[in-house]
């Protein structure tokens, strides 16, 4: 399965995008701004990344992106403010309220997880293409 993250708008305040699957809207996204792929303060480079399920006490069940150049622990997890709540990760949101800001992240995150969990249950690989 391939999810496409199309970055729509970016500034020093953050990066807004949209995730689609087979051309259909799944959710919007927020990320930190592009700061030359610096750890914890920059969004990740464009590319294709395999997604795997992960569990932590802080985020419970969420997704991790594998083999991000120069980075580790890049997650997809709920957040509504990229600067305040993300350390280089990606947050699904239901709608954008500004650059790097959104609402109803948990609702959007649950939607993403339902889609990828269906693929994982069928033993399919899942990838995120960031453009």
112 SS3 class: helix
Alpha helix ranges (H) inside the chain: 82-85, 105-121
pLDDT in tens, 38-54: 999 999 999 999 999 99
* Residue listed under structure tokens 């303060």: 41
Confidence at residue 82, expressed as pLDDT on a 0 to 100 scale: 98
Confidence at residue 39, expressed as pLDDT on a 0 to 100 scale: 96
Count of alpha carbons within 13 angstroms of residue 74, beta-carbon side: 24
Confidence at residue 86, expressed as pLDDT on a 0 to 100 scale: 97
- For the chain, the structural domain boundaries read 2-130
Average pLDDT over residues 60-76: 97
Assessment of whether the complete model's pTM goes beyond 0.85? yes
Residue count of the chain? 131
The mean of the pLDDT values for the chain is 97
Count of alpha carbons within 13 angstroms of residue 112, beta-carbon side: 35
pLDDT in tens, 11-20: 999 999 999 9
Percent of the chain with pLDDT over 70: 100
Contact present, 79 and 85 (Cβ < 8 Å): yes
């Amino acid at each position: 399965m391939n999810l496409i993250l199309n970055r729509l708008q970016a500034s020093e305040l953050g990066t807004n995008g949209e995730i689609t699957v087979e051309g259909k809207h799944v959710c919007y996204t927020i990320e930190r701004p592009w700061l030359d792929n610096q750890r914890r303060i920059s969004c990740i480079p464009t590319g294709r990344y395999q997604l795997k399920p992960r569990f932590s006490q802080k985020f419970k069940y969420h997704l991790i992106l594998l083999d991000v150049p120069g980075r580790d622990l890049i997650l997809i997890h709920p957040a509504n403010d990229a600067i305040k709540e993300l350390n280089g990760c990606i947050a699904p949101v239901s709608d954008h309220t500004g650059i790097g800001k959104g609402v109803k992240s948990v609702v959007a995150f649950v939607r993403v997880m339902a889609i990828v969990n269906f693929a994982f249950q069928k033993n399919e690989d899942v990838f995120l293409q960031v453009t």
